[in-house]
Structure formats: C-alpha cells, structure tokens
C-alpha cells in the first residue's frame, strides 16, 4: 500500500512527455510503470546504503554462483559473469567465504528492498488491468518500422532515463535488445532478450514486459530473464496464448536481492529453465503465476516454489492438468550417487549453521497433476525454513526419491496438503510422507479420496526428537512401507528425550502390509511416542464429476427417441457418464416393449461390446419380452445376430431354462458356434445338458474346449468327470487349466476319479491332476472326510521323488494345503535330497506354515 501510494503520487507529478500523444489507457499504463521505477529506485538505494561500494560489488559478482553445483562444468564461469557482460572488472581469483557474504547481506535494509520491488509489481499489475480492459487503438499511419534490436513494426520506441520503452504493434515482432518497458499488443512474438529481466547496478534495475495476446516464444540463456531480477525488479506478464518459455539459470520468476514475477493468464504453456527458476528466491521474492491451461514445468533444481535464505518463493497454478519435473542434472553425491538433486516443488532451505531459510510454496488449485522430482522436494524444508505444497483438487501423482512429501529436516517444517482426489504417493526412500527429522516437523494431510501410499520409511514419523503427522481424512486407501518399525506412526528417542509420530486414518476400508502390526479399524503404538489410529467409519460416497441430470424419470416424461436412448445407455459406464447411462437405461425400461424390440431387432448384429452389455441389462429386466425375439434371432440369416442371441439367452440365467432345447437345436444345426452355445448353456444352469456337450471338449478350436470345460464346472454334473480328466492331457495349457478348475468346481467326486487314474498319468496331465487333488483335499474338513484326505496324501507322497521337477513342485504344494503330521516328517526327509531351487522354495514355505500352525 505504501509503495502504491507513492507510485500514484510520482505519476501525477511528472508524467513522461511522450505518453501524452498515446491512447489514454496506454499512456496511463506506461506512466504508472515508469513512475514506479522512480519510487523503486529510492527504496533500492535505501536498501544498499549501508554497503560499501566494494561490498556491493562482491555481492553482484558472487550472486550468480550462489547456487552453482560442483558437477556443473560451467560453475566457475558464473562468478563475475555479469561484470563481464557489462564490461566491468571482477577479481575471480579471490575466495569469498559464505560468512563474508552473510555479513554483507545483514547490512541490507530488507524491508526497503522488498518495497522497491513491490512498488514496480503494483504498477505493472495496474497497467495490465488498464490494458486488458480496453486494448489501445492506433491509426495505421502511426506505425513505424522496427528500431535497433527490434524486428517488426512498432507504435512507439523511446529512450528514457530507465532505458528503452517500446510499444509493439499487432504483428509478429522479434525483440533482441533489452528494454526497461515493453508493451506488446498482439501477434506471435519472439523474445530473444531478457523480457522483463533486470540486473541492477551494472545494468538496468527495473524491467517490465506486458504481452496482451499471441502464441509467443521467450528464449534467453543469459542470467536473470523472463521476470527475474538481481538488485531490482523484473516483471513479465503474458495475458493470452499458448506460450513457450525457455531460459537459462535465475529466470522465470526468480529473485536474488530483488523481486521477480512471471504472470501468465491463459493458454497451454511450457516452462523450461536451468536452476533457480519458476518461483525461486534468495534474499528476496520470486513468483510464477499461471491461471489457466494444461502446462508443463521443467527445471534442474532450486525451482518451482523454492526459497533460500530470508526469501519467499512461490509457484501458483490455478487451473489445468499440469506436469512438474525437477531434477535430471546434478547427482546428489555422495549420499545418493544415482539420484538427482531437486530442491523444488515447495522447498525451502537455510544455510547451516549460519542463517535461516525462507518460505517455499507450490500451490495448484485444480487439475490432474503429475509432480515428479527426486531429492528434497514436494513440501519439504531444511534448516529453519518452511516448505509447502498444496493441491486443491484432481487425481494427482507424487513421485520422488528421498526427503519428500511433507518432510521437515533439521529444525524446519515441511507440509504437503492435498484437498481431494484419488491420489498416489511414491517415495523410494525416507524421510517422507509426514516425517520430521532432527527437531523438525513433517506433515502430510490428504482430505478426501481413495489414495495409495508407498515409502521405505515414513507416514507419521518423529525421527530424532521431531514430530511427524500423517492424516488421511476420507477414502478407501492402501499403505505400503518397507520399514515396519519407522512407519505408520512411530518415533525414536535421542539426546535423552523422545519425539512424536502420529498416523491417523479417519474413514474407509483400508489395506496395510501383512505382518506389519497395523491394520484397518485398529489402534496401535510404536517407538517412543508413536501411535496410529484407523477409525471404524465408512468412506464418504464421492462423485468427483459434475452432476449429469439426476431428475427421476416418470413414464410420461420419456420423450427422447429410442435410438438416442439406446446410444446413451450403451456408453462406457464410468466417470461423469455413470448417471447419464443409468438414466437412459431407466428410460428404455419405461418404454417397455419398444425399447427391447429396438435393441433385439435393430442392433442384434452389433460388434460393440458396450451395446451388448446394454442388451444384457434389458433382457435380464424383461426376460418374457425378450425370449421370442431371441428365438427369432437364433434363426436370423446374419451370423453375429445368431451368436449374440444365444449369448443373451445365457445372460438371462435360470429364467431361460425353457430355452435350453432351442440352444441345443441351434448348436446341432450349426447356426451358432460351439463356444457360444457352451457358454450360454453353462450360464443357464441346466446340469442335464452336460452329456450333450461333452463332445465339445474335443472340438478343433481351443476356445471351444476352454469354454466347454468352464461350462462343466458351472453345471457341476459328475458325468463330466471322466472327460475332464482326459482333457488334462490336452496339448494346450489353457485347456488343461480350464479342465483342472472344472474338476475342482465339481467337488469331492472329482477327487475320487483323479485318485483312481493317478497312477496311469504322466507328463503335464499328472501335474494338473496333482494340483486339483491338493485343492480338493484341502476342502475335506469333516471327520467323515478325513479318510479320503489321508488317502489322497498317501497317493501323492511318492511323487515328491518324481524325475520331473514340475511334478515334484506341485506335489509339495498340494501336500502343504492339508498337511498331516506324519506327512510333514516325510517331507522333511525328502527335502534333504532335493536340489532344484524352486522345489526347495516350496518345501520351505510348506514346512514354515506347518510350524506356524
């Protein structure tokens, strides 16, 4: 407010002369911004007045190297790079210690430094409002050809005490020269300059670029570009268009000893930069704001809502399905030599042990977003700092390596909050997911959705005198931690006192790792002061999609054409169309015979599985209406119509028992395929038809044999047992497996048949028979059935010495399903001579289960 009042006063006292000939709103906008430079300059001089010239010079020379990495081959060149750009001398041979830098920084008036930038930001925001409300209108004869450093036609090019001022026309322009102020009215423009980038003292302290429209490309590899600043203020505002932002280091809303702002209004945008970018700050303010569009953000590190010492870094994306990536450049050696450093996505850090960090914040209000980073990221902080990531709504994915997802490290606070959506969280290593380490606080809160979490250690952990809080407020969730001790609400003690870890799941039916000591609807304690509580409450029924019309449909209100209703009722029943599909089906039923007749006459030869599913619904709801139409369909001249009719007869289940003869006749006359006939007869459920379809187990088509075996299992007629046992010798594994499962489905009588024929079996058939016998014997749990179980084990036991390793393996597994004490001893003896590693694994598993029981 203070800066804004001063800007208005400055603009009124001495307006720039050249603005008086411009359209009123454009003149006001230019005058405001230029006036803000005068105000900002006063505050900037006040901010550095306690510094000696040589001290200020050292800060300017060393600042580009503040965030350099030892792995960067160009790191040494960053020190003094701005001096060289502007033709000044700087001694790069001397060593400047971090303590010296901090001593100089403490001389800065940080309040004045902030006001210097905020005065310019406030003026730029008001200028944007004026220009967006009423775009300036010029006479064509007022245009002029481009000036030095600007290719294309412009309305204005004026040199001022602050630098070049340009107003570009509505055509496509290319800007190569830095300017203190650019207003671009339209066109697909190329910005090869700093575009709202400011470098104070050796260069220009203030720069504002406002682009009103067009699909623009911003490309600059010099430091401090695209809404970034060093000792000053840089602002880049782009209102509309699908824009491409590409920059080097210290860019795209980056600020060191100053204020940087990149603001994009709408469009599908791409942001790419080196390190220290996309809402990054140190000793200042750095902000990137994007209001609309499906955007992608990519940077090396120190980015995407990053704050260093005494700073505020913000990345805010209001809407769209966005992709964030930070990493891929500098390895985190020696701790994690194969993972990359990120320091991003809501991350803040101080300088241990000398200075506290700032506040790093990434906020994304809406959309299905992907957050991908590696080490130190996603609502995490280090050394007296606060790092936060907040996501409003959408189905989001969080992926990282270590120190992530609500982790506070060394006297700091890290938090990740997700308001709603079915989200997934993955962290390969801890601390992560609501974990504090070394007198810190880590928080992860997910308020709504069916979520999945994976980490090595985390989820409410107070590590080394810290506090960890993990809270999932609603949804049916699954949790996985590879560290059973430091997970799900745990803490440890150090320095003679403890910490606190709390894990809370407030609702839903949840899944946890087995043998972890935690479970759904339970309370548990871990560590020094660690606890977990999973409440016995059902999850809320959540409809993530906008309501489709849920008005109840009465018989008299159905006016839509039946063709349209059928089409809607045959949509894929997922997401936001679920209610729409169900409503259409309800309308079809309300139409009675008309809806069924349309489906079974006009659409009966469909190839569309979704349409066929809709027909299933209709014939199950109105079987008596459907049957005559399906009888006719099985005599249709079209092949698909006949097969679809048989399929739908089967879907009526036992309501179609009077259709069995028609199905058998159609099969005999070859009007329907054996596969379709067997499937339908199995679904109808008349077991008396089994002898009439057994010949299909020898059909030439593999699928027919599979479906017939499945039908025999459904119908459970013992008459099928001999044929199914012979089918265990089929040349196809799929058919043999189907026969095995059918024998198990028929029950105890199958076991008798298998035991009678077991001695004569060989090859794969023997393995399938043993598997089936093991499954069936395990179900014999009464006293009367014990004799058969013992006989089964006695018959199988000699096979543990079979020459085929597969037979030995399935035999050990089968015996383990219902292991008698005497048999267990013989298995231990047989294990001694076994050499196959897979069979040995089966032995160990079976005998371990026996010991547990």
Q: Is 793 a residue whose pLDDT tops 60?
A: yes
Place of tokens 């993955």: 426
The angle formed by the CA atoms of residues 705, 675 and 606, to the nearest 5 degrees, is: 150
d(CA 25, CA 126): 11
Rounded CA-CA distance 332/376 in Å is 10
Residue-level pLDDT at 547: 42
Question: Within 10 A of 24 (CB to CB), how many other CB atoms are there?
Answer: 12
Residue 818 CB-density burial (10 A; 0-12 exposed, 13-18 middle, 19+ buried): buried
Q: Which residue has the higher pLDDT, 23 or 374?
A: 374
Q: How far apart are CA 438 and CA 724, in angstroms?
A: 66
CB contact at 8 A, 157 and 166: yes
Residue 315: pLDDT above 90?
yes
What is the mean predicted confidence (pLDDT) over 28-49?
94
Residue of 361, 329, 328, 330 whose CA lies nearest to 344: 361
Tell me the C-alpha distance between 769 and 766, whole Å: 5
Residues 388, 360: Cα–Cα separation, whole Å: 6
Number of residues assigned to the chain: 853
Average pLDDT, the chain: 91
Tell me: pLDDT of 291 over 70: yes
- For residue 13, pLDDT beyond 60: no
Mean pLDDT to the nearest integer, 795-808:
91
CA dist 691 and 675 (Å) reads 16
Is the separation of the CB atoms in 332 and 341 below 8 Å?
A: yes
DSSP string, 467-482: EEEEEE-SS--EEEES
Query: Is residue 76 predicted with pLDDT exceeding 80?
Result: no
CA distances from 458 to 95, 370, 503, 528 (A): 41, 21, 10, 15
What digits encode the pLDDT tens for the residues 595-643?
Answer: 999 999 999 999 898 999 999 999 999 999 999 999 999 999 999 999 9
- When pLDDT is averaged across residues 315-344 and rounded to a whole number, the result is 94
Give CA 526 to chain center in angstroms.
30
> Which of 442, 360, 370 has its CA nearest to residue 406?
442
Per DSSP, the residues of 62-111 read: HGGGTT--TT-TTHHHHTTHHHHHTT-----SS---HHHHHHHHTTS-HH
User: For residues 788 and 792, what is the distance between their CA atoms, to the nearest angstrom?
Assistant: 6
If residue 684 lies in a helix (H) or strand (E), which one and from where to where?
A: helix 674-684
For residue 21, what pLDDT is reported?
76
Residue 335, pLDDT above cutoff 70: yes
Whose structure tokens read 């309040």? Answer: 111
**What is residue 498's predicted lDDT score, i.e. its pLDDT?**
79
| DSSP category for residue 540 | P
Confidence of residue 549 (pLDDT cuts 50, 70, 90): very low
Average pLDDT for residues 224-237, to the nearest whole number? 98
Contact in structure between 406 and 442 (CB atoms under 8 Å): yes
User: Does residue 142 carry a pLDDT above 70?
Assistant: no
Give the count of beta carbons closer than 10 Å to the beta carbon of residue 546: 6
Residue 704: in which H helix or E strand, if any?
A: helix 702-715
What is the C-alpha to C-alpha distance for residues 717 and 711, in angstroms, rounded to an integer?
Answer: 10
3-class DSSP state for residue 631? helix
Report the SS3 class of residue 839.
Answer: helix
Query: What would the two tokens of residue 189 be?
Result: 């423009």
Distance (Å, rounded) from C-alpha 360 to C-alpha 7? 29
Q: What is the pLDDT of residue 784?
A: 80
Is residue 366 classed as helix, strand or coil in its secondary structure?
Answer: coil
Of the given ranges (2-6, 366-370, 710-714), which has the lowest mean pLDDT?
A: 2-6
Strand partners, 452: 424, 478
What burial class does residue 829 get, using C-beta atoms within 10 Å of its C-beta: 0-12 exposed, 13-18 middle, 19+ buried?
Answer: exposed
Instruction: Report residue 126 as tokens.
Output: 């008001």
Which H or E run contains 615?
helix 609-621
Asked which of 17-21, 111-115, 795-799 is least confident by mean pLDDT, the reply is 17-21
Let me know: does 684 contact 654? Beta carbons within 8 Å. yes
User: How far, in Å, CA of 470 to CA of 505, rounded?
Assistant: 8
Helix H or strand E segment including 166:
strand 163-168
For the cut 70, the answer to whether the pLDDT of residue 16 exceeds it is no
Lookup: tokens for 272: 């790419």
Report, as an integer, the average pLDDT of 236-256: 97
Percent of the chain's residues with pLDDT above 70: 94
Helix (H, G, I), strand (E, B) or coil at 831: helix
Question: Quick check: 394 pLDDT over 60?
Answer: yes
pLDDT of residue 555: 41
Helix (H) / strand (E) containing 632: helix 623-633
**Backbone torsions φ then ψ of 288, nearest 5 degrees:** -125, 125
Considering the entire predicted model, what is its pTM? 0.73
**Helix (H, G, I), strand (E, B), or coil: what is residue 766?**
helix
Q: State the Cα–Cα distance between residues 20 and 37, nearest whole angstrom.
A: 19
Q: Report how far Cα 149 is from the mean position of its chain's Cα atoms.
A: 44
Contact 710, 682 (CB under 8 A): yes
Contacts of 736 (CB under 8 A, 6+ apart): 727, 728, 729, 730, 764, 765, 768
Supply 606's token pair.
Answer: 């469909």
Residues 363 and 330 sit within 8 Å (Cβ to Cβ): no
The SS3 of residue 416 is strand
Check whether 126 has a pLDDT greater than 70.
Answer: yes
* pLDDT, tens digit (0-9, with 9 covering 90-100), for 150-195: 999 998 999 999 999 999 988 899 999 999 999 999 999 999 999 9
- Check residue 574 and give its pLDDT: 75
Q: Which residue has the tokens 């009124």?
A: 12
Geometric angle at alpha carbon 283, from 282 and 285, rounded to 5°: 75
Is the model more confident about 328 or about 7?
A: 328
Averaged pLDDT, 672-677: 91
Q: What angle do CA 174, 180, 184 make, to 5 degrees?
A: 40
Residues 210 and 179: beta-carbon distance below 8 Å: no
Beta-carbon neighbour count of residue 154 at 10 Å?
23
Name which of 805, 808, 773, 810 is nearest 789 in CA terms. 773
Which of these ranges, 62-71, 651-660, 704-713, 814-823, has the smallest mean pLDDT?
814-823
Hey, where are the domains in the chain? 2-112, 315-541, 545-647
- By the 8 A CB rule, do 249 and 225 touch? no
Phi, psi (5° rounding) for residue 334? -90, -5
| 317-348 per-residue burial string, b: 16 or more CB within 10 A, e: under 16 | bbbbbbbbbbbbbbbbeeebeebbbbbbbbbb
Can you state the angle between helices 53-62 and 98-105, rounded to 10 degrees? Answer: 120
Give the whole-angstrom CA distance, residue 236 versus residue 124. Answer: 9
């Amino acid at each position: 407010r203070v800066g804004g009042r001063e800007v208005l006063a400055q603009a009124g006292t001495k307006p720039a002369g050249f603005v008086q000939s411009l359209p009123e709103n454009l003149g006001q906008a230019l005058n405001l911004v230029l006036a803000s430079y005068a105000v900002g300059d006063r505050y900037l001089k006040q901010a550095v007045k306690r510094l000696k010239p040589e001290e200020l010079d050292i800060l300017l020379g060393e600042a580009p190297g503040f965030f350099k990495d030892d792995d960067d081959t160009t790191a040494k060149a960053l020190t003094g790079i701005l001096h060289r750009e502007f033709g000044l001398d700087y001694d790069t041979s001397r060593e400047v210690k971090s303590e010296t830098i901090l001593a100089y920084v403490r001389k800065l008036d940080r309040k004045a430094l902030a006001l210097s930038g905020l005065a310019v930001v406030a003026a730029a925001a008001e200028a944007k409002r004026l220009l967006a409300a009423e775009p300036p209108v010029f006479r064509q004869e007022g245009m002029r050809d481009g000036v030095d450093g600007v290719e294309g036609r412009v309305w204005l090019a004026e040199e001022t005490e602050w630098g070049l001022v340009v107003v570009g026309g509505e055509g496509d322009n290319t800007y190569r020269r830095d300017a203190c102020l650019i207003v671009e009215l339209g066109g697909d423009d190329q910005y090869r300059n700093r575009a709202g980038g400011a470098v104070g003292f050796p260069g220009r302290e203030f720069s504002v670029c406002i682009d009103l429209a067009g699909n623009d490309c911003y490309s600059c590899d010099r430091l401090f570009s695209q809404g970034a600043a060093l000792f000053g203020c840089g602002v880049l505002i782009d209102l509309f268009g699908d824009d491409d932002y590409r920059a080097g280091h210290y860019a795209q809303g980056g600020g060191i000893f100053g204020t940087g702002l990149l603001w994009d209004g709408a469009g599908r945008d791409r942001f790419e930069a080196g390190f220290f970018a996309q809402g990054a700050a140190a000793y200042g303010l750095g902000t990137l704001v994007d209001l609309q569009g499906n955007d992608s953000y990519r940077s090396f590190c120190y980015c995407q809502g990053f704050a260093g010492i005494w700073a505020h870094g913000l990345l805010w994306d209001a809407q769209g399905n966005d992709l964030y990536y930070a990493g891929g450049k500098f390895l985190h050696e020696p701790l994690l030599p194969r993972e990359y450093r990120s320091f991003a996505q809501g991350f803040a850090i101080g300088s241990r042990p000398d200075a506290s960090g700032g506040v790093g914040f990434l906020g994304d209000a809406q959309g299905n977003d992907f957050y991908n980073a590696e080490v130190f990221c996603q609502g995490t902080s280090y050394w007296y700092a606060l790092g936060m990531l907040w996501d409003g709504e959408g189905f989001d994915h969080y992926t990282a390596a270590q120190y992530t997802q609500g982790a506070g490290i060394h006297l700091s606070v890290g938090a990740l909050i997700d308001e709603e959506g079915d989200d997934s969280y993955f962290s390969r290593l801890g601390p992560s997911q609501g974990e504090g380490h070394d007198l810190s606080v880590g928080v992860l809160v997910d308020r709504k959705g069916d979520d999945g979490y994976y980490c090595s250690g985390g989820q409410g952990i107070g590590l080394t005198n810290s506090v960890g809080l993990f809270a999932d407020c609603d949804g049916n969730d699954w949790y996985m931690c590879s560290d059973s001790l430091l997970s799900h609400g745990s803490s440890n003690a150090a320095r003679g006192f403890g910490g606190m870890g709390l894990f809370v799941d407030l609702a839903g039916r949840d899944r946890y790792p087995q043998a972890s000591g935690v479970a759904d609807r339970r309370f548990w304690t871990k560590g020094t002061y660690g606890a977990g509580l999973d409440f016995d409450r059902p999850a809320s029924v959540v409809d993530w999609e906008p309501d489709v019309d849920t008005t109840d449909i009465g018989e008299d209100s159905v006016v839509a054409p039946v063709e349209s209703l059928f089409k809607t009722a045959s949509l894929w029943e997922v997401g936001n169309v679920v209610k729409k599909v169900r409503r259409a089906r309800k309308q079809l039923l309300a139409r009675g015979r008309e809806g069924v007749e349309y489906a079974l006459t006009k659409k009966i030869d469909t190839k569309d599985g979704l349409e066929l599913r809709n027909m299933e619904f209709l014939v199950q709801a109105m079987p008596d209406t459907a049957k005559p139409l399906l009888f006719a369909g099985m005599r249709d001249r079209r092949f698909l119509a006949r097969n679809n009719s048989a399929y739908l007869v089967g879907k009526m289940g036992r309501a179609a028992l009077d259709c069995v003869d028609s199905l058998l006749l159609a099969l005999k006359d070859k009007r329907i395929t054996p596969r379709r006939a067997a499937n339908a007869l199995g679904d109808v459920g008349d077991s008396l038809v089994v002898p009439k379809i057994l010949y299909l187990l020898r059909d030439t088509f593999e699928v027919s044999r599979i479906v017939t075996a499945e039908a025999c299992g459904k119908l459970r007629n013992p008459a099928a047992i001999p044929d199914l046992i012979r089918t265990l010798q089929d040349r196809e594994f799929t058919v043999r497996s189907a026969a095995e499962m059918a024998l198990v489905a028929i029950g105890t009588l199958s076991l008798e048949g298998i035991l009678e024929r077991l001695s004569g079996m060989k090859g794969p058939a023997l393995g399938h028979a043993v598997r089936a016998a093991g499954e069936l014997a395990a179900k014999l749990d009464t006293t009367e059935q014990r004799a058969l179980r013992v006989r089964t084990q006695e018959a199988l036991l000699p096979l543990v010495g079979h020459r085929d390793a597969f037979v030995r393996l399935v035999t050990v597994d089968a015996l383990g399903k219902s292991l008698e004490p005497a048999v267990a001893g013989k298995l231990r003896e047989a294990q001694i001579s076994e050499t196959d590693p897979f069979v040995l694994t089966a032995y160990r598993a079976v005998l371990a289960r026996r010991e547990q029981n």
